[in-house]
């Protein structure tokens, strides 16, 4: 069958594929521990869900303007203004069906044939595909393992060519959990500005920051003079446990946002109205949001500590990135090969087959020597998963 050149390189999302397989095996009755999912295990906070129900009952079920309900755009702009000196304007906010659509809108609007887009690696699996859908060329730039794979301006410099038009950066990072400091972000933003390269900063995990009671630094925390052409992507999915509601947003110069809105108006019109009403509560009721986010943050921090200590106890020779944000543990399995297993993909298949633990092989993120474990699940499941991993690699576990 012939398809258009637009989707020549299109593959289904690798992370969703693993998670779907794990759910299918569980539905067939297998005892599966699914640590492949990219979503918080918490229910959406009640004050947010209640707002949506009340909104539906009050008839808030029709189309909205493509860029979103004006009060929601204003509430998001107010929250963005708290991130630093920058006074964010509601005209710069475009509400989307998840952060994924905000990324698609930005990449499709800004890049095209002949353009190269740098992608800080390891990367979230969707970025290169979105760049290819725009018929531009994704270029992976790996940071140093010793630096949690965070990229530096010198590494960007080596990867850039005359065709480089953009950089996709993700902090806190999926899959590593690494968080860029404000200084590191400042250096990268300055490099982008000097080279007239668009900076797309995906900060969807910003609220899940383990080593501080404040969210992770982002580009709006930088002085305005240090930031060139850029698009911030964020949303409600991870920080408010709202993955299924599909609410994300982009923030950019209002002129760019008009183009992003025009594109969206031709594709999906607007993000689902009841979901926007729910997000309005999430972004407006600051006290309720802070209370619920603090409780979720506390659980994620405890689980982060748990998985790191099990790594040190049970797999002391296995390198991993100590996650400072998000809810993923990224560890290296090429030292654990054997029995005909010679990639993380095969290692993960064996783990799923023999021990019923689903992890995502690093091939999905640009390096198939590593795997990603999601710790957005209960302490009991995490303990059980580590027991099973240790059994497979032949380490005894007591207790």
Which residues of this chain interact with ligand PLP, rule CB under 6 A?
Answer: 38, 98-100, 124, 170, 174, 202, 204, 235, 237, 243, 248
Q: How many CB atoms neighbour CB 177 within 10 A?
A: 25
274 versus 395: smaller Cβ distance to ligand PLP: 274
Question: Min. distance of Cβ 57 from ligand PLP in angstroms?
Answer: 26
Provide the pairing of β-strand 230-235 with 198-202.
Answer: parallel
Q: Residue 149 is encoded by which pair of tokens?
A: 């794979």
167 versus 315: smaller Cβ distance to ligand PLP: 167
Indicate the DSSP class of residue 40.
Answer: -
How far, in Å, CA of 46 to CA of 344, rounded? 39
Identify the CA nearest to 191 among candidates 179, 178, 180, 203. 180
Question: Min. distance of Cβ 392 from ligand PLP in angstroms?
Answer: 26
Name the maximum alpha-carbon separation found in the chain: 61
38 versus 66: smaller Cβ distance to ligand PLP: 38
155 versus 170: smaller Cβ distance to ligand PLP: 170
Question: Min. distance of Cβ 139 from ligand PLP in angstroms?
Answer: 18
279 versus 311: smaller Cβ distance to ligand PLP: 279
Question: Min. distance of Cβ 217 from ligand PLP in angstroms?
Answer: 16
Q: How many CB atoms neighbour CB 43 within 10 A?
A: 10
Question: Min. distance of Cβ 235 from ligand PLP in angstroms?
Answer: 4
Q: Which residues of 146-165 are buried (b: 16+ CB within 10 A; e: fewer)?
A: eebbbbbbebbeebbeeebb
248 versus 297: smaller Cβ distance to ligand PLP: 248
User: Please, which residues have CB within 8 angstroms of residue 85's CB and are 6 or more apart in sequence?
Assistant: 223, 224
Indicate the DSSP class of residue 377.
Answer: S
100 versus 310: smaller Cβ distance to ligand PLP: 100
The three-point CA angle 96-101-105 to 5° equals 100
Question: Min. distance of Cβ 59 from ligand PLP in angstroms?
Answer: 26
Strand partners, 325: 209
With H, G, I as helix, E, B as strand and everything else as coil, classify residue 371. Answer: strand
Inter-residue contact 38 to 174 (CB < 8 Å): yes
Crossing angle between the packed helical segments 379-393 and 286-314, to the nearest 10 degrees? 20
Question: Min. distance of Cβ 325 from ligand PLP in angstroms?
Answer: 11
207 versus 310: smaller Cβ distance to ligand PLP: 207
109 versus 355: smaller Cβ distance to ligand PLP: 109
Question: Min. distance of Cβ 174 from ligand PLP in angstroms?
Answer: 4
With H, G, I as helix, E, B as strand and everything else as coil, classify residue 279. Answer: helix
Closest residue (Cβ) to ligand PLP? Answer: 98
* Cα 147 versus chain centre, distance: 19
Question: Min. distance of Cβ 142 from ligand PLP in angstroms?
Answer: 17
């Amino acid at each position: 069958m012939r398809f258009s050149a637009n989707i020549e390189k299109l593959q289904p999302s690798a992370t969703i594929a693993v998670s779907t397989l794990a759910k299918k095996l569980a539905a067939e009755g297998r005892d599966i521990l699914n640590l492949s999912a990219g979503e918080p295990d918490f229910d959406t906070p009640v004050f947010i869900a209640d707002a949506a129900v009340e909104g539906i009952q009050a008839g808030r079920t029709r189309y909205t303007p493509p860029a979103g309900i004006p009060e929601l755009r204003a509430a998001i702009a107010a929250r963005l203004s708290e991130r630093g000196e920058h006074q964010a304007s509601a005209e710069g906010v475009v509400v989307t069906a998840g952060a994924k659509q905000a990324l698609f809108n930005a990449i499709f609007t800004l890049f095209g044939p002949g353009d190269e887009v740098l992608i800080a690696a390891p990367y979230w699996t969707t970025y290169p595909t979105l760049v290819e859908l725009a018929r531009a060329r994704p270029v992976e730039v790996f940071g140093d393992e010793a630096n949690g794979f965070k990229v530096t301006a010198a590494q960007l410099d080596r990867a850039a060519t005359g065709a480089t038009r953009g950089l996709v950066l993700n902090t806190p990072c999926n899959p590593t959990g690494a968080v860029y400091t404000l200084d590191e972000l400042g250096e990268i933003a300055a490099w982008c500005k000097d080279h007239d390269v668009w900076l797309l900063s995906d900060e969807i995990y910003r609220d899940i920051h383990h080593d501080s009671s404040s969210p992770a630094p982002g580009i709006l925390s930088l002085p305005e003079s240090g930031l060139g052409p850029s698009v911030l992507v964020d949303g409600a999915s991870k920080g408010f446990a709202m993955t299924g509601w599909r609410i994300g947003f982009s923030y950019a110069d209002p002129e760019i946002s008009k183009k992003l809105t025009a594109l969206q108006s031709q594709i999906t019109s607007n993000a689902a109205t009841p979901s926007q009403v729910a997000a309005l509560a999430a972004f407006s009721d600051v006290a309720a949001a802070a209370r619920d986010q603090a409780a979720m943050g506390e659980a994620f921090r405890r689980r982060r500590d748990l998985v790191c200590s099990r790594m040190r106890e049970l797999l002391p020779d296995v390198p991993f990135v100590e996650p400072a944000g998000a809810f993923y543990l990224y560890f290296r399995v090429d030292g654990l090969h054997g029995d005909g297993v010679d990639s993380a993909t095969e290692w993960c298949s064996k783990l799923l087959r023999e021990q019923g633990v689903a992890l995502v092989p690093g091939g999905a993120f640009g390096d198939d020597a590593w795997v990603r474990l999601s710790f957005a699940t209960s302490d009991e499941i995490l303990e059980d998963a580590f027991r099973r991993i240790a059994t497979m690699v032949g380490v005894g576990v007591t207790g």
